[in-house]
Amino acid sequence: MQTKSLIKFVSLMVCLTSVFSVTDVTAQVIDPQRPVQRAWEAFKLRYQAAFDNLNSKLPAHPENGDDVRYTNHLNSYTKGLPHDSNGIVDAAAYNALLNALSTGKPADFEVIPMGTPGGEKFRNPQAAYTYFYEGKDSHAYTMPAAPAFSSAWNAADSIEVMWQALVRDVAFTDYATSPLITTALADMNHFSDYRGPRESGVISANALFRGIGAGETNGPYISQFLLQPIPYGATKIDQRISVPVANADYVTNWNDWLQIQNGGKLTGLPDYSDATKRYIRNGRDMAQYVLKDFIDEAYMNAALILNGYGAAAVSDTNPYRSSATQANGPLFSVNHVLDMLGRVAMASQDVAWYQKWLVHRRARPEVLFARVHKHLTDPAITYPLNAELLNSSALPLAFTKNSGTYLLPLATPAGSPLHPSYPAGHATMAGASVTMLKAFYKGSYPVPNAVIPSADGTTLLTYDPQGGPVLTVESELNKLASNISLGRDFAGLHYRSDGDLGIKLGEEMAISMLQELVNTFNEDFTGFSFNRFDGTPITIHKQ
């Protein structure tokens, strides 16, 4: 009914325009269109985009059923609410959260009982209801159901995160020789539903904790866009960061875990700061980067680095590459790229927050390992945990490291932020932002001056591929997205599935936005052409 009413309204306005004449403006304007013609063309463009979105098939939103399957909500997102001594949420408080999410009324969110008065607050659940004007509506994207609590997929997801915590201080350059990495590989290769990359059918030291995008196992673990100096106006910025010292882990005892689960804060903690700034060289450094980054920092820096590579790195479809009389800028220049990164930054978070709060509400890894701890140490408690998880060699190592618990050692005393795990917000933004960068730059362009950090992270060394694959813009952008995503796993905040599928969600969102924006440009060009994360080519052309 609403669609028919809108069509009738537009038809009426078109008829009225044909009846009434329009007075010319007094100034002599050089323009291929009269002012009212231009106004109507702008209206038709916006209307057509909105109508196409309205007319498209709405997707289903599958979820794993855990929220209903377990009446104690053992795998539902409940952090910040009151919990009993075993870490099980107060049912009335959880129902109040569900009620607020179902009504969307701001007043209903204000009466949710919180676990710690004056403690940590939920991270913006009302973002799930936001509208925006470019691309499809945030509720019109979908993603697979999250792994179920007792599944083999969830077991592999979980133990991978535990291993990432246990090897945080091993330099990526030492993975091939580290005995701890060898133990991790032997364990991870036993999992039947691990969905990370493999080499020759096995999880190798080179593939361990890498992303699944095309070219991500090529070269150093860390993307060149997190290592190379950043041209920043009239100066350059090196990418050494402030990091913690080794073994700076938190929330390894039950009382601390229960305190943060109720929304409380840990106090009186030691200062674990390293006096030396370092290039990202291990999982702890990568975790620190994504714990401190701002909204599109990594992608803005990548755009500036790419711009510094010069005209040869610009996409072949850039219309100004072949113009005899025109140069790019502001459109199709680095200014355009930075603007597009800003456009997808917040919009991608709205897409993620809808899935997080209104569809999946997946608990964080810190909760999963609290369930493991109680299952293994309290004879009165039994949880439906997958046998592959319980048989992992990572668990006794964690028990020893934690001095008597099976909890996940976290890289931050706050633990996970107060919003659900699936999908990862960082990953969704990474997918959207890297897709925008791919649209403007040449994926096959060889990255110049490739570097690799020293094992202690104090210097950058020249990277020699030694006859292996040359690093390209595409492979390093894919790697950038996964570095950011998996860095959150190294911190103990997310699972691989949160990230890998979040990246794909962000990619879809950016493609939808590009499809609308490409129709707004006057330039004669074939469209944006690039490869998706899985290597599939795509061209977004005018319609």
**Which residues are known to be catalytic?**
419, 426
Name the strand (E) or helix (H) holding 98: helix 91-103
Cα distance between residue 466 and residue 453, in whole Å: 17
Backbone phi and psi for residue 67, each to the nearest 5 degrees, phi listed first: -65, -30
Tokens coding 498? 């949160």
Token pair 């046998």 in the structure block, residue? 387
The angle at the Cα of 540, spanning 297 to 10, to the nearest 5 degrees, equals: 100
The neighbouring-strand residues paired with 232 are 235
The H-assigned helical ranges of 331-448 are 334-354, 365-377, 387-390, 394-401, 425-440
- CA torsion 143-212-477-176 (nearest 10°) is 150
Half-sphere exposure of 113 (CA within 13 A, CB side): 11
CB atoms within 10 A of CB 332: 21
DSSP summary character for residue 84? -
Cα distance between residue 408 and residue 213, in whole Å: 27
Taking alpha carbons only, the member of 360, 369, 366, 528 closest to residue 437 is: 528
In sequence order, the 6+-apart residues with CB closer than 8 A to the CB of 499 are 211, 423, 424, 426, 427, 482, 485, 486, 488, 489
Cα→Cα distances 241→31, 284, 286, 295, 535, Å: 51, 12, 10, 17, 32
Pairing status of strand 451-453 against strand 235-237: unpaired
Cα distance between residue 379 and residue 369, in whole Å: 16
Taking alpha carbons only, the member of 387, 397, 411, 498 closest to residue 157 is: 498
The neighbouring-strand residues paired with 451 are 462
Cα distance between residue 427 and residue 508, in whole Å: 13
Tokens coding 9? 């309204």
